[in-house]
Copies of this chain bind each other. A is one copy, B any other.
């Protein structure tokens, strides 16, 4: 269903929570309480986010996590990629041509374009957007139907 994993979903919620007070340091325990998720899971998620450079961590007492960049500069793509790895709709979206069906596939190119479009879309959604409650506007809604190409692909 083109779905995010639960962990990614948690990550978004946690990041949003942090983004709402971006200058404070947040401990895993604190966040776990706030988002009502079990501590070990929150801890794991935070570690992944930190390892991928979205959060700065400090150990020891008075430690915790802070955003590594302002909320406006952290994108949905970043968060998804941090938890799930590189975004791509198909196997061959990033692998370097190790798909032995490439010849007969015939749709790889266009899938990759679609994939790229989604990535671009997600690049345009920032943590600041996610964290605020007011609706964000995305441009895709309207124009896409009008961009249809000459429909070939018929033969008979």
Residue of B nearest to A101 (CB): B36
Residues on B with C-beta less than 8 A from A1 are: 80, 84-88
Within 8 A of B (CB), among A72-107: 72, 76, 80, 84-91, 93, 101, 104-107
* Given A137-B147, A149-B137, A88 contacting B130 (CB threshold 8 A): no
Contact with B along A107-126 (1 / 0, CB 8 A): 10111011011101111111
Q: A114 to B76, alpha carbons, bound, how many Å?
A: 10
Q: Is the CB of A148 within 8 A of B126?
A: yes
Residues of A within 8 A of B (CB-CB), count? 81
Cross-interface CB contact of A2 among B16, B80, B136, cutoff 8 Å: B80
Residues on B with C-beta less than 8 A from A126 are: 148, 151
Q: Is the CB of B152 within 8 A of A123?
A: no
CB distance from A70 to the nearest CB of B (A): 8
Q: Could you give 24 example pairs across A and B, Cβ below 8 Å?
A: A2-B2, A2-B84, A3-B91, A4-B89, A13-B104, A20-B106, A22-B154, A22-B156, A23-B154, A71-B153, A72-B148, A110-B130, A113-B135, A113-B136, A113-B138, A114-B125, A117-B121, A120-B144, A121-B121, A123-B144, A123-B145, A126-B148, A128-B153, A139-B143
